Amino acid sequence: MNTPTRRRALTLLAAAAGLPLLDLPLMGLRPAAAVEMPTLRHWSGVALGADAHLVINHPNPAEADALIQASLAEVARLEAIFSLYRPDSALSRLNRDGVLVDPPAELVILLAEALSIARRTDGAFDPTVQPLWTLYAGHFGRPGASPAGPPESAVREALAQVGYHKLTVAPDRVSFHHPGMALTLNGIAQGYVTDQVVALLKARGVAHTLVDMGEIRAVGTHPTGRPWTAGIKAPGEDDRTLLTLPLRDQALSTSGAYGTPFEPTGRFNHLFTPATGRCSDPRFSVSVSAPTATLADALSTALSVTPVGARVLARFPECRAWRAGADGSVTALNRSQST
């Protein structure tokens, strides 16, 4: 999925007032003092090309460790389906051949969800933007590349291959309508994998856990009885938290253009507006809380590239969203919401 050097915009915090922070250090985050919680088992590593963390509240350390290993096996299984960078993955084979017969059920389920969100966001979320990534990465990967970006003619050519309505998804076949099309699931797959790990843990009796496989989802409470807590960092910064949010049976995702820039200024980056091929403003990020990490992941991507965020968000009454600025501002995107 995304490369491990992607900068994270969320940090996980302890929920208990008066206690030091529970240290789950993310990339670029200043470590905090850890709380001794003997029932908590921690794992930190890389999943789907990004920093990942798993915290399980369980009285039996051996059983907790077995649950962590089962979770990681599930992540590995799903990565073999969704990875853009493994040539043998189902997604890579689809992008290479333009058609995938007898696709894995998980790919069909996730693509159906992606297309539903694409329609509900008027195409602001669109998994077919991979040709734009290829264009920009290729342009800035060449020596002496123009700092003005690819020529408009090349952008128009790439845009001709973009459009979620040009993708057919059925249980027995996934196919593109035109040669040159390609999918990326980087704006939704990490959320889906997070949800699948949560489902696995719940099925095995875990009632209190914090799962972060690129996106965060909290189940139950922290051992103190308080909610789990996540902090939204200032865009492009590692150690300035602008907003702290309690999480209980809720997911949280942040999308920021500064996360994966193609060139030093960040003007050209991985968050594309599907209608124009232009890139999102790196001075801002969008965070979304939702019942599932899949929805939070996709919706934070969509709200990062649409000029009518409040209107789109109104179609998702179960979600809340915030826009954070590098100047330290935080704006609630829900019309009736306050920070």
Confidence of residue 335 (pLDDT cuts 50, 70, 90): low
- Tell me which residue has tokens 């290993």: 69
Q: Is residue 182 part of a domain?
A: no
Closest CA to 181 of 95, 52, 76, 74: 95
Is residue 119 included in any domain, yes or no?
Answer: yes
102: in domain: yes
In a domain, 59, yes or no: no
- The band of 46, judged by pLDDT with boundaries at 50, 70 and 90, is confident
Evaluate whether 210 touches 12 at the Cβ level (below 8 Å). yes
Which 3 state secondary structure label does DSSP give 168? strand
Task: Give pLDDT, residue 9.
Answer: 52
Among 8-22, 142-156, 227-241, whose mean pLDDT is lowest? 8-22
CATH number of the domain within which 164 lies: 1.10.3980.10
Does residue 300 form part of some domain? no
Q: Among 141-145, 294-298, 331-335, which stretch is predicted with the lowest mean pLDDT?
A: 331-335
Is residue 35 over pLDDT 70?
Answer: no
Task: Establish if 60 belongs to a structural domain.
Answer: no
Instruction: Say how many domains are in the chain.
Output: 1
* Whether the predicted pLDDT of 147 surpasses 80: yes
Q: Is 306's pLDDT higher than 60?
A: yes
Paired tokens of 218: 């909290």
Range list of β-strands (E), the chain: 10-13, 40-47, 50-57, 99-101, 167-170, 173-176, 209-212, 216-219, 228-233, 241-247, 250-256, 284-290, 320-325, 330-332
- What is the reported pLDDT for 11? 53
Please tell me whether 297 is known to bind a ligand.
yes
pLDDT at residue 51, as a whole number: 86
Beta bridge partners of 236: none
Distance of CA 239 to the CA centre of its chain: 20
pLDDT at 299 over 90: yes
Question: How much is the pLDDT for 337?
Answer: 52
Mean pLDDT, range 218-246, rounded to an integer: 89
Asked, for residue 110, whether it belongs to a domain, the answer is yes
Q: Pick the more confident residue, 290 or 30.
A: 290
Q: Mean pLDDT over residues 238-262, rounded? A: 90
Give the domain range for residue 162: 90-176
SS3 95: helix
* pLDDT at residue 235 is higher than 80: yes
301 is in an annotated binding site: yes
pTM for the full model? 0.88
CB atoms within 10 A of CB 339: 12
Range in 69-78, 106-115, 217-226 the model is least confident about: 217-226
Phi, psi dihedral angles at 297 (to 5 degrees): -60, -55
User: Above 80 in pLDDT, residue 336?
Assistant: no
Rounded Cα gap, residues 153 and 326, in angstroms = 32
| Inside any domain, residue 167 | yes
DSSP letter at 307 equals: S
pLDDT in tens, 62-100: 999 999 999 999 999 999 999 998 999 999 999 999 999
Q: Which residue has the tokens 């889906």?
A: 192
State the pLDDT at residue 50.
81
pLDDT at 223: 86
Predicted local confidence at residue 16, as pLDDT: 29
Averaged over 261-266, what is the pLDDT? 93
Compute the mean pLDDT over every residue in the chain, rounded to the nearest whole number.
87
